[in-house]
Amino acid sequence: MPTGKYRLLAVDVDGTLLNHGAMDDADVAALHAAAEAGIVVCLCTGRSWEESRDIWEGLNLPEPHGPVVCAGGALVVEPDTERTLYSRTFDRATAQELTRQMQQMGYPVMALVDAWREGFDYYLIGRYDDRPLYQNFISAIPRRIRHVDRLDCDDYPRPLRISALEEPGCGRPTVETLKRHFAGRIEIQDIYLSHRDVDIVEAFSAGTDKFTALQYVGQGYRIAPSAFAAIGDDNNDLAMLRGAGLSGTPADAPEELLRIAKMVLSPRGSGPVAEFVDAVLKG
């Protein structure tokens, strides 16, 4: 049992722990120190579990292992067994309407499903053979994809996340258009993926975020949000930074994160995780 104030450490992956595709040795050592102190170390990522597995294995954290929050909070996975512990999916009507709307805006659409339950990762709706942005993104990481023309069949699995790709810096207008159209029925944001040099416009069922997933994780350990410590660097980390007892963000994170974080840390790639963990261990 940890003796300090904070008992659960939530760590964003891309841009925070992972910078230009690599983890800093000092950050990895800090996460080991936190785990050895009895703190539940919980990776919280926008990636699917399939896309997160190598990163989690590369950390080689000491047992017992905490769950991994994936897909921006739509999924919680037990890493040792890879089974799904928690998921939040779209209702079918909203998923179908959102997919049609994105297609009308000219996007091929990617719909992530629960691979542990369904045996594949994505539906890809629409053609992308003339879209280098999609070709590069999809070929970069192995995914089990089913190609369909529409998401209208009622026996299709309900998606965890529905997304589209844009050129860097170009995702925000699409987000605002879809926010107006769906008026609170979905969560939607644009994230810049530096390791892919692409904006991803990603939508979830209403109420889905990393903090809600962390609350589920915390309940299993009887840890209240006041004992959460969370570090992140992008829009999909806002909810967990607001809700955690201690929050940190790199100095070069977006302005909104700098306003709400209780600690402004070293810039990305300069050891912000190690700096944050040091504060967590000191309680």
Question: How large is the average pLDDT for residues 93-113?
Answer: 96
**Cα separations in angstroms, 28 against 37, 62, 79, 169:** 14, 12, 18, 30
The two tokens of residue 51 are: 């896309």
pLDDT for position 92: 94
CA torsion angle 233 237 241 242 (round to 10): 130
Residue 223 has pLDDT above 90, yes or no: yes
The two tokens of residue 251 are: 């100095």
Q: Which amino acid type is present at position 261? A: A
pLDDT tier at 196 (50, 70, 90 boundaries)?
Answer: confident
Residue 142 has pLDDT above 70, yes or no: no
Q: What is the pTM of this model?
A: 0.94
Task: Give the 3-state secondary structure of 36-67.
Answer: HCCCEEEEECCCCHHHHHHHHHHHCCCCCCCC
pLDDT for position 283: 82
Residue 141 has pLDDT above 80, yes or no: no
The two tokens of residue 213 are: 């997933």
pLDDT for position 3: 63
Question: How large is the average pLDDT for residues 254-280?
Answer: 96
Q: Which range, of 21-35, 150-164, 251-265, averages the lowest pLDDT?
A: 150-164
Tokens 């299709």 label which residue? 156
Extended strands (E) in the chain: 8-12, 18-19, 22-23, 40-44, 68-70, 75-78, 83-87, 109-112, 122-125, 145-148, 161-166, 186-193, 198-205, 228-231, 246-250, 263-265
pLDDT for position 21: 82
Query: What average pLDDT is seen over the chain?
Result: 94
pLDDT for position 139: 84
Residue 121 has pLDDT above 80, yes or no: yes
Element (DSSP H or E) covering residue 131: none
Is-contact 252 6, C-beta < 8 A? no
* Domains of the chain as residue ranges with CATH: 8-87+209-282 (3.40.50.1000), 92-205 (3.30.1240.10)
Residue 187 phi/psi, 5° resolution? -100, 135
Q: How, if at all, do strands 8-12 and 228-231 pair?
A: parallel
pLDDT for position 264: 98
Residue 197 has pLDDT above 80, yes or no: yes
